[in-house]
A and B are shown apart, each in its own frame.
Chain A
Amino acid sequence: MKKIWRVPLIIRGEVIDEGAVEFGGRRGGAVFTSPDVGKHLEQLALDRPSRMADLYSLSFDDIAEYLGRLSERLNLATNPHMQEAYELSRLTSGLSDSILRNHYENIPHFFRADVARESAENFIGLDYLEGWVPQVSRVNPALTVKVRAFGARAVHVIAGNSPGVAAQTVLRNAITRSDAIIKTPSNDPLTAAAMARTMIEMAPDHPLTRHLSVAYWKGGDTNVEEILYHPKRIEKIIAWGGFASISHITRYLQPGIDLITLDPKHSATIIDSDAFADEATLRHVARRLALDVGAMNQEGCVCARVVYVVSGTDAKGLERLNKLGKLTFEALQELPSHLSTPHKAFDPELKAELDGLRFAGDEYKMFGGRNNEGAVIVSQSDAPVDFSRLLSGRVCNLVPIDALDEAVLSVNSYTQTIGLFPESLKDRLRDRLAYQGAQRLVSLGGAATLFATAAPQDGIEPVRRMCKWIVDESACAELLEGLALASDATAVAA
């Protein structure tokens, strides 16, 4: 008998675990039941904004202390909720167990008091979170402006390809003193709920516990979304993911709802001819490239897919690029298992394309690609494979170019991260890559291994945008009254 998983509905400190509706199960996938969210909508939506006040009885020290305690409790080895989430994710995730385990084991790190404090400081500034910050004006000293970052009531439609997305969302909600309703995806319905349950067990009445809800409903369910996505009930929607999940939401956009989208992205790599300086350098580059392709099993938007290499496109250039391809494939096979393994559910559509390549004559050279071990495809002309958008499961495409320009112009606004080698390439290309649309530049090898927790994401500042930036303007009483009387006293209001 196939196990049916239970996904609870959590509403501000209360766990509702009544099953009721069955989800999933397509093509042998995991089946889970969850409460019918439509029946609990009145509770789920926080339609009395005055109830945000309790969050402001907390100092940031209180918040950091709470998150620090939570960090200790999210330990996978001891937390049964996190264990259950991990077990279900083993069935729903594209990540192999060893990688997934590594991700779960890293979750407590996000919540450490010092990490949370630094995140808050770098994302927003503690002073703005803690109080009203005067804005100095030399032009108009008579007017005093103060700004404070307030939390907002938000729905987070999160992605499920890594449990880190749920963890970041819980963290961001706490540091901004917001009220979050996390709408979980079917490929990770339990991680956010596990964290919320842990919070309830730790501090059931704490305001941070009472301002986190976690729900699963099928994206696009109008019974839920028509009611919830209304400016009376929420102020922001933070939506991760593809066209389908965003297009459900755009139906409900209206004045009063701020949509923050974290679109699906792809990442790329640019390697200059320095890689071919000598044998040792080439091996070094191959290892770092393998990391960008293979870490997270290429499930992340940050992972490298198309790799432009200034190898030259003549016979000699192709020869050395083929060598880099071979070394990269070998390095990919040697990556440690907590970072990368053969993919457990290799995309059959991609497999058919790889199988087709052997019939493409001498247009491509492929290393690997027989089963699920991953592959390095080396184009033998300066064009990526036509199926570059399908690249996944540790399959990358090395493209030879004669000049950096071709790589730079191939970048567009769907390119998230670009891994670069050598380091000096950043100084040369940084600005131009930004014009084209790139959003994050990393040293080769760092695409999916370095995570500056408190850096802007996708070229926007989602955490700053999660806040409401409230302004307090003052001027002396006489001056204001003067405006009503004198015809030349308009300067202050400008």
Chain B
Amino acid sequence: MTSLSAQLRADPTSFVEARYDEAFNLSREELDEIHLHGLQKRFNELRPRLAVLDALAKEQGIEHINHVDDAVPLLFPHTVYKSYPLSLLERSRFDRLTHWLAGMTTTDLSGVDASDVHTIDDWIALIEKTTEIQLLHTSGTTGKLSFIPRTRRQWDDTVRITANSLRDWHGAGAGPDVLKDHMPLVIPAYRYGASSSHRGVDRMVRMYAGGDDNALFLYPGAYYSADVASLAGRLKAAESRGEQGKLQLSPALLARREEFAVREGDRPEQMRRFFEAAVERYAGKDVILFAVWPILFEWAEAGLARGLSKVFGPNSVLITGGGSKGRVLPDNYRQQIFDFIGFSRYYEYYSMSEIMAGCPRCDEGNFHIPPTMVPYVLDPDTGAPMPRSGRHTGRFGLMDLLPDSYWGGLITGDEVTLSGWDEPCACGRHGPYLHSTIGRFSEKQGGDDKINCAGAPEAHDKAIDYLLQQTQG
């Protein structure tokens, strides 16, 4: 048994100390051991302190985990972290939202008094001020924000693990060791925020760049507002309740909409300043660039249009990922991005807000699952797990073994194809991996040309989307 395997078996969070590449060199037996022991450890430690997990275990009649598949009935639905009623936000009942959140975590929230809070942003700040939790919220593309109760230490680990992957993914020490040798950090986005793409940024500035003097943002000093991110979903919900819904829209929310519109109006000027600063401070220098593909493309398009290209040094690194989020990008979007930024070394991850360490993509195009995540492929109809051998397509379920204060078991909304149990990937790495064909189940609903008279007011939604586009610029 390798020492890494023994370490991970004893404590999955020790992954943060590991040489990242070794994690993809474990034998099948070692991996099975890490998975089973991790599941047992998390279940045994969290069940007594997490009422929702205890209730689910009771209901499913699960007392022990003897086999990896025993945990499948304990995976939470992907709706869990947004199971609160939206009406709590409209009525400024952040005390009840806190009560809801307290059920999801072992972190003590009893000292949080949210009775005077009126916006999500203030609520997130209050929790950060009074507890160990630095909440993460999703971007709300589905209309409702999920809130994930990640702690300070867990955030430290997440950001360190990403740094380790930069260093070792292509072999031990093959990449930059940014925790030791700081690099300038360039992010075409907000400096502050609690969304999945902003929450880690504060640490990246400190741990990768060595401070704000060595970092550049499109919106320096600006905060990505959760209230604004939730705007679309809340307006839709209000519309579906007619006049009553409109009467109940939170005045605090409507006030933020104005503020956001003003800020967006300033966007072209901010973009101009950002480009100027990027060229002035970092032209030809190696940097860390962090952004999802659609944002990068938007940036590259604007930059190329200004006549800028090959902006950064050849040994820069790009940290990226994410789907197109509904945007249609041209076939050559990556080439356009590389032309603009001047380098093509990128690290791409399959990840989601609910998990702490993402799955890096190899040169074969596959996403490799780190040993701290127990993957399941579930039958889309029955929810039963597919065998842990061969190649299977189905709904992706997972247990993230890293979080120790909330339950990392989740059934995602993604359809995946998974292989790697029996043979290594063509890139040489061992262990399970996801093929690049990852899709959303929700996009598969409905079927072709099926017409029903019962339905949601889609036309109405389109109108609201349009209005929102007007404010979002």
Q: For A262, list chain B residues within 8 Å (CB).
A: 453
A265 contacts chain B at the CB level, 8 A cutoff = yes
Q: Are A406 and B244 in contact, CB atoms less than 8 angstroms apart? A: yes
Our pick among A165, A266, A386 for the contact of B144 (Cβ within 8 Å) is A386
Q: A161-B452, A363-B96, A388-B240 are in contact. List 18 more A-B contacts (CB 8 A).
A: A165-B453, A185-B450, A186-B448, A218-B448, A242-B455, A265-B455, A266-B455, A300-B453, A355-B79, A356-B83, A359-B83, A359-B104, A360-B83, A361-B100, A382-B87, A386-B144, A390-B456, A406-B244
User: Min CB distance, A438 to chain B, in Å?
Assistant: 10
The docked-state distance in angstroms from the alpha carbon of A364 to that of B96 is 13
- Decide yes or no: A219 and B84 within 8 Å by CB, A356-B79, A363-B100 being known contacts: no
Q: For A367, list chain B residues within 8 Å (CB).
A: none
Q: Are B454 and A303 in contact, CB atoms less than 8 angstroms apart? A: yes
The interface-forming segment of B302-310, B330-338, B438-446 is B438-446
Q: Are A352 and B83 in contact, CB atoms less than 8 angstroms apart? A: no
Give the most central of B86, B244, B454, B457: most A CB within 10 Å. B454
Give the size category of A's interface with B.
35 or more
A474 contacts chain B at the CB level, 8 A cutoff = no
Q: Are A358 and B458 in contact, CB atoms less than 8 angstroms apart? A: no
The docked-state distance in angstroms from the alpha carbon of A165 to that of B86 is 37
Q: For B448, list chain A residues within 8 Å (CB).
A: 23-24, 26, 186, 218
Q: Are B82 and A349 in contact, CB atoms less than 8 angstroms apart? A: no
Q: Are B79 and A414 in contact, CB atoms less than 8 angstroms apart? A: no
- Decide yes or no: A187 and B451 within 8 Å by CB, A27-B444, A352-B78, A385-B85 being known contacts: yes
Q: Are B77 and A386 in contact, CB atoms less than 8 angstroms apart? A: no
Give the size category of B's interface with A.
35 or more
The docked-state distance in angstroms from the alpha carbon of A213 to that of B450 is 20
- Decide yes or no: A410 and B456 within 8 Å by CB, A347-B445, A358-B52, A360-B100 being known contacts: no
Q: For A246, list chain B residues within 8 Å (CB).
A: 459
User: Min CB distance, B399 to chain A, in Å?
Assistant: 16
Our pick among A359, A360, A385, A436 for the contact of B76 (Cβ within 8 Å) is A359
Q: Are A409 and B243 in contact, CB atoms less than 8 angstroms apart? A: yes
The docked-state distance in angstroms from the alpha carbon of A262 to that of B452 is 10
B111 contacts chain A at the CB level, 8 A cutoff = no
Q: Are A27 and B454 in contact, CB atoms less than 8 angstroms apart? A: no
A125 contacts chain B at the CB level, 8 A cutoff = no
Q: Are B99 and A361 in contact, CB atoms less than 8 angstroms apart? A: yes
12 contacts between A and B (CB under 8 A): A186-B450, A265-B455, A299-B454, A301-B454, A303-B454, A352-B411, A356-B82, A363-B85, A389-B240, A412-B242, A414-B457, A436-B243
Our pick among B248, B451, B457 for the contact of A157 (Cβ within 8 Å) is B451
Q: Are A352 and B413 in contact, CB atoms less than 8 angstroms apart? A: yes
Q: Are A186 and B241 in contact, CB atoms less than 8 angstroms apart? A: no
* Cβ-closest chain B residue relative to A219: B449
Interface residues of A (CB under 8 A from B): 23-24, 26-27, 29, 92, 157-161, 165, 185-187, 218-220, 240-246, 262-266, 298-301, 303, 347-349, 352-353, 355-361, 363-364, 379, 381-386, 388-390, 392, 406, 409-412, 414-415, 436-437
Q: Are B84 and A363 in contact, CB atoms less than 8 angstroms apart? A: yes
Our pick among B79, B103, B248, B451 for the contact of A185 (Cβ within 8 Å) is B451
Q: For A264, list chain B residues within 8 Å (CB).
A: 452-458
User: Min CB distance, A456 to chain B, in Å?
Assistant: 15
The docked-state distance in angstroms from the alpha carbon of A381 to that of B411 is 28
* Cβ-closest chain A residue relative to B237: A386
B326 contacts chain A at the CB level, 8 A cutoff = no
Our pick among B104, B445, B447 for the contact of A349 (Cβ within 8 Å) is B445
Q: For B411, list chain A residues within 8 Å (CB).
A: 352
Our pick among A29, A240, A360, A385 for the contact of B451 (Cβ within 8 Å) is A240
* Cβ-closest chain A residue relative to B234: A386
B55 contacts chain A at the CB level, 8 A cutoff = yes
* Cβ-closest chain A residue relative to B59: A358
B245 contacts chain A at the CB level, 8 A cutoff = yes
Our pick among B99, B144, B243, B456 for the contact of A389 (Cβ within 8 Å) is B456
User: Min CB distance, A359 to chain B, in Å?
Assistant: 5
B380 contacts chain A at the CB level, 8 A cutoff = yes
The docked-state distance in angstroms from the alpha carbon of A358 to that of B86 is 16
The docked-state distance in angstroms from the alpha carbon of A188 to that of B459 is 24
B247 contacts chain A at the CB level, 8 A cutoff = yes
Q: Are A437 and B242 in contact, CB atoms less than 8 angstroms apart? A: yes
User: Min CB distance, A319 to chain B, in Å?
Assistant: 19
B263 contacts chain A at the CB level, 8 A cutoff = no
Q: Which of B226-241 contact A (CB under 8 A)?
A: 237, 239-241
Q: Are A353 and B242 in contact, CB atoms less than 8 angstroms apart? A: no
Q: For A219, list chain B residues within 8 Å (CB).
A: 449, 451
- Decide yes or no: A359 and B453 within 8 Å by CB, A26-B448, A186-B448, A242-B458 being known contacts: no
